[in-house]
Amino acid sequence: MSVLEVKDLHVSIEGKEILKGVDLTMKTNEIHAIMGPNGTGKSTLAAAIMGHPSFEVTQGEVLLDGVNVLELAVDERARAGLFLAVQYPSEIAGVTNAEFMRAAINARREDDDKISVLKFIKKLDEKMSILDMPEEMAERYLNEGFSGGEKKRNEILQLLMIEPTFAILDEIDSGLDIDALQVVSKGVNAMRGEGFGALIITHYQRLLNYITPDVVHIMMDGRVVKTGGAELAKRLEEEGYKGLSEELGLQITIEE
């Protein structure tokens, strides 16, 4: 079992404090969801854990099995088993999707244990069929000309291929129709198990109808203000963020 602990994390962007002390602990074999209004710092949390240079950690730590990943270089965080599916995947010209995934898999393996081309292709075929993806997607340049839905599906393909210990999935549901949402959810659910944990960031409850979280955290104004089970997401759907923040006695302006 592996554990990812975020402890009293404070993060600033251009001198402005966005995260004001985030605490959360997750284990493999668990799926956690973070929900919260727009602009509350959800993507900032994901970016800070992965080491995006624009986000300055001013206090706190992020421990992966006791190791502070904030002290690791960005590529070392990935090698340590962290994976981030970003809200807006960028295009990488000149690198095919397949090349990218093979390099990412091999980065996590020892020199004498690189994945063979044959095994890689077999695995790729298997995972692409789970996601109903056409074969040619593997040979296209990464995210270049991919539609919004294709990008999201592709992030999940990377997840299935790279098999990280912990995945942070930022708004993988945004802009998806129901069919695509079901496919993406099927991919995440296929990863569930002993060696895998996920943190699913979403503004809407809808995704959580397909991926049932073990734990739900509500984030508002840079802090986790409430943690509960899957029922918390349902309640939020009924009461809205405004209702919940009033109930918690928070003085926060929320635009829904």
Ligand X SMILES: Nc1ncnc2c1ncn2[C@@H]1O[C@H](COP(=O)(O)OP(=O)(O)O)[C@@H](O)[C@H]1O
Give contact residues for Mg ion (rule: CB under 5 A). 42-43
Shorter beta-carbon distance to ligand X: residue 42 or 127:
42
Residue 176 or 220: the one with the smaller Cβ distance to ligand X is 220
**Binding partner of residue 40 among ligand X, Mg ion, none, CB under 5 to 8 Å per kind?**
ligand X
User: Considering the complex, what minimum distance in angstroms separates the CB of residue 9 from ligand X?
Assistant: 12
Which listed option, ligand X, Mg ion, none, makes contact with residue 14 (CB within 5 to 8 Å by class)? ligand X
Q: Which pair of tokens denotes residue 120?
A: 């890689």
List the end-to-end C-alpha distance of the chain, in Å, as a whole number.
38
Min CB(200)–Mg ion separation in Å: 12
Residue 187 interface partner, choices ligand X, Mg ion, none, CB cut-off 5-8 Å depending on type: none
Report the sign of the C-alpha dihedral through residues 227, 228, 233, 235, in that order. negative
Beta carbon nearer to Mg ion, 142 or 201: 201
**Interaction partner, residue 44 (ligand X, Mg ion, none; CB < 5-8 Å by kind):** ligand X
Query: How far is C-alpha 206 from the geometric centre of its chain's CA atoms?
Result: 16
Question: In the chain, what are the helix, strand and coil shares in percent, each to the nearest 5?
Answer: 40, 30, 30
User: CB of 11: closest distance to ligand X in angstroms?
Assistant: 9
Least distance in angstroms from the C-beta of 150 to ligand X: 22
Q: Which long-range contacts (CB under 8 A, 24 or more apart) does 145-153 make?
A: 145/91, 146/89, 146/91, 148/174, 148/175, 148/176, 149/175, 149/176, 149/177, 149/180, 151/89, 152/85, 152/176, 152/180, 152/184, 153/180, 153/183, 153/184, 153/187
Look at the block and give the residue holding tokens 């802090």.
223
> At 224, which amino acid appears?
V
Smallest distance from the beta carbon of 39 to Mg ion, in angstroms? 8
Judging by beta carbons within 10 Å of its beta carbon (0-12, 13-18, 19+), is residue 210 exposed, middle or buried?
middle
Query: Which residues form the interface with ligand X (CB under 6 A)?
Result: 13-14, 18, 36, 38-44, 54
Residue with Cβ nearer ligand X (41 or 164): 41
158 binds, among ligand X, Mg ion, none (CB under 5 to 8 A by kind): none
Least Cβ distance, residue 43 to ligand X (angstroms): 3
Cα angle: 234, vertex 33, 6; to 5 degrees: 140
Q: Which does 54 bind (CB under 5 to 8 A by kind): Mg ion, ligand X, none?
A: ligand X
Both tokens assigned to 225 = 């203000």
Beta carbon nearer to ligand X, 39 or 148: 39
| Nearest CB to ligand X, comparing residues 160 and 198 | 198
